[in-house]
């Protein structure tokens, strides 16, 4: 845990918990590390942790410490939730570093108070979507929703997030019903900002299920609400979703123009900027110019990886694969596409959108024919690559 958490959870009027942790580290009974953010953290050896748990239970303070731990991490999740529209990437990265503590907090909430569990899960739904914790996120949201306590707003947040995650794993009817049930609560309570965010997720859910008409309706309404809210982050995200459907419908000129607008207003937001580059590349593929698409897909891939979104990273690898194959690098295209498909399976992402599949066949079909009998072996080799290995290969081998 970071020092601040150690102090709040373990400290007291006469206890300097951080100083105690430092002394334990000096005696090799605790572990100190420095994370990628430059901040220090404390951890315990397994034997010391178990000894502490036994002593804590014997002292009668185990429940109190569990409640303090839960309260601290609920406050952390709440702060990130409230800042997610304007500081999405940094907040998601911060939560990712503490995912183990958040998981423990949810387990404790499940044992202590179903209402608190529902509230905490509802504030983490956006994070599980953004960083593609699809299977775990669904499991924890479903567990929270199985309880009977909690505020209806927290339940609505959980319903919307659970439905979105389910749609990314192949669900449709049940997923949409879950989102719509959550949206009904948000509308009734006049939660304009949260309705906008949920509609954005709903648009993507319908897009991934090949309902472009429904996605268009959701995104257009999200754009209206975002404009009413005046929140730049919501405005960017809603227009980004709208651009996706425009491109998917083959309206290349309008899609390209909106993508360029998104690049101008992205403000460093990785979701907006990576997808804007992606849309520019899609338009180039539609126009039959894979050479023009390749640089934009490469940039989109770099940004998706920085964002920590495994689904979008794998999709960008497919983009590079198509552009590379269309530019004459048949072996690289087949290899990278295989790696992306393997990543989808590992993530638990069900992705079968006809217009994207048509593009894949348009550019990878001729590559397979050109490679002949070698294509199968290349495909199998590509499926052995990890996602990070595939990213490195895509960026290194597709250089002009």
Determine the Cα–Cα distance for residues 253 and 249; give it in Å rounded to an integer: 11
Q: Shortest CA distance to 201 belongs to which of 238, 232, 230?
A: 238
Task: Report pLDDT for 65.
Answer: 83
Cα separations in angstroms, 241 against 53, 89, 197, 204, 316: 48, 17, 11, 7, 16
Task: Flag whether pLDDT at 39 surpasses 80.
Answer: no
Domain limits, the chain: 1-60, 250-400
- Per the CB < 8 A criterion, the answer to whether 363 and 323 are in contact is yes
pLDDT in tens, 132-191: 999 999 999 999 999 988 999 999 999 999 999 999 998 878 999 999 999 999 999 999
Considering 28-32, 85-89, 272-276, the range whose residues carry the highest mean pLDDT is 272-276
pLDDT over 60 at 200, yes or no: yes
Q: What is the pLDDT of residue 228?
A: 97
What confidence score (pLDDT) does residue 170 get? Answer: 87
Q: Which of 11-20, 27-36, 85-94, 329-338 has the lowest mean pLDDT?
A: 11-20
pLDDT confidence tier of residue 91, bands split at 50, 70 and 90: very high
- Statement: the pTM of the whole predicted model exceeds 0.75: yes
State yes or no: pLDDT of 400 exceeds 60.
Answer: no
Which pLDDT score is estimated for 225?
98
Burial code of 225-241, b = ≥16 C-beta within 10 A, e = fewer? bbeebebbbbbbbbbbb
43: enclosing H helix or E strand:
strand 40-44
Quickly tell me which residue has 């360029």 as its tokens: 260
pLDDT at 263: 96
Q: How far apart are the first and last CA of the chain?
A: 45
3-state secondary structure of 297: helix
More confident of the two residues 125 and 44: 125
**pLDDT of residue 326 exceeding 90:** yes
Residue 52 has what pLDDT?
Answer: 67
Question: Which tops the pLDDT comparison, 31 or 210?
Answer: 210
pLDDT(217) > 90 = yes
**What angle do helix axes 3-10 and 17-26 make, rounded to 10 degrees?**
120
Output the pLDDT for position 11. Answer: 66
Residue 37 pLDDT: 66
Kindly give, in sequence order, each residue whose CB lies less than 8 Å from that of residue 234, ignoring residues fewer than 6 positions away: 85, 193, 196, 197, 200, 222, 225, 226
Of the pLDDT bands very low, low, confident and very high (cuts 50, 70, 90), residue 399 is confident
Contacts of 161 (CB under 8 A, 6+ apart): 121, 122, 125, 126, 128, 129, 137, 141, 201
pLDDT grade for 94, boundaries at 50, 70 and 90: very high
Averaged pLDDT for residues 19-37: 71
Q: Which residue has the higher pLDDT, 45 or 302?
A: 302
Among 21-25, 65-69, 108-112, 146-150, the least confident range: 21-25
Question: For the domain with range 250-400, which CATH number is right: 1.25.40, 1.10.357, 1.10.10, 2.60.40?
Answer: 1.25.40
* Residue 173: predicted pLDDT: 81
| pLDDT at site 53 | 73
């Amino acid at each position: 845990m970071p020092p601040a958490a150690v102090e709040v959870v373990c400290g007291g009027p006469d206890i300097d918990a951080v100083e105690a942790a430092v002394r334990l580290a000096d005696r090799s009974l605790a572990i100190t590390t420095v994370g990628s953010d430059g901040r220090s953290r404390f951890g315990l050896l397994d034997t010391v942790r178990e000894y502490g748990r036994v002593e804590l239970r014997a002292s009668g303070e185990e429940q109190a410490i569990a409640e303090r731990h839960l309260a601290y991490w609920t406050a952390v999740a709440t702060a990130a939730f409230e800042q997610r529209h304007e500081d999405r990437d940094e907040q998601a990265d911060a939560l990712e570093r503490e995912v183990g503590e958040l998981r423990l907090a949810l387990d404790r909430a499940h044992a202590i108070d179903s209402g608190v569990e529902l509230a905490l899960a509802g504030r983490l739904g956006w994070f599980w979507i953004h960083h593609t914790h699809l299977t775990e996120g669904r499991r924890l949201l479903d567990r929270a929703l199985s309880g009977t306590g909690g505020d209806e707003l927290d339940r609505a947040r959980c319903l919307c997030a659970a439905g979105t995650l389910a749609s990314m794993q192949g669900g449709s009817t049940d997923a949409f019903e879950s989102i719509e049930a959550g949206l009904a609560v948000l509308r009734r309570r006049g939660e304009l900002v949260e309705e906008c965010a949920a509609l954005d997720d709903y648009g993507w859910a319908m897009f991934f299920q090949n309902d472009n008409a429904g996605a268009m309706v959701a995104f257009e309404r999200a754009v209206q609400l975002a404009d009413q809210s005046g929140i730049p982050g919501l405005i960017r995200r809603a227009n980004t979703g709208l651009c996706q459907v425009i491109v998917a419908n083959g309206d290349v000129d309008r899609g390209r123009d909106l993508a360029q607008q998104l690049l101008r207003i992205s403000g460093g937001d990785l979701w907006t900027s990576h997808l804007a580059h992606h849309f520019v590349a899609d338009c180039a593929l539609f126009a039959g110019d894979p050479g023009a698409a390749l640089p934009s897909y490469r940039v989109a891939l770099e940004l998706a990886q920085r964002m920590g979104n495994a689904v979008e990273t794998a999709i960008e690898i497919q983009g590079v694969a198509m552009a590379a194959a269309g530019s004459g690098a048949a072996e690289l295209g087949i290899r990278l596409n295989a790696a992306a498909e393997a990543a989808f399976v590992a993530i638990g992402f069900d992705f079968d959108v006809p217009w994207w599949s048509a593009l894949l066949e348009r550019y990878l079909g001729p590559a397979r024919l050109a490679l002949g009998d070698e294509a199968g072996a290349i495909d199998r080799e590509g499926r052995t690559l990890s996602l990070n290995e595939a990213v490195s290969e895509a960026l290194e081998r597709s250089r002009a």
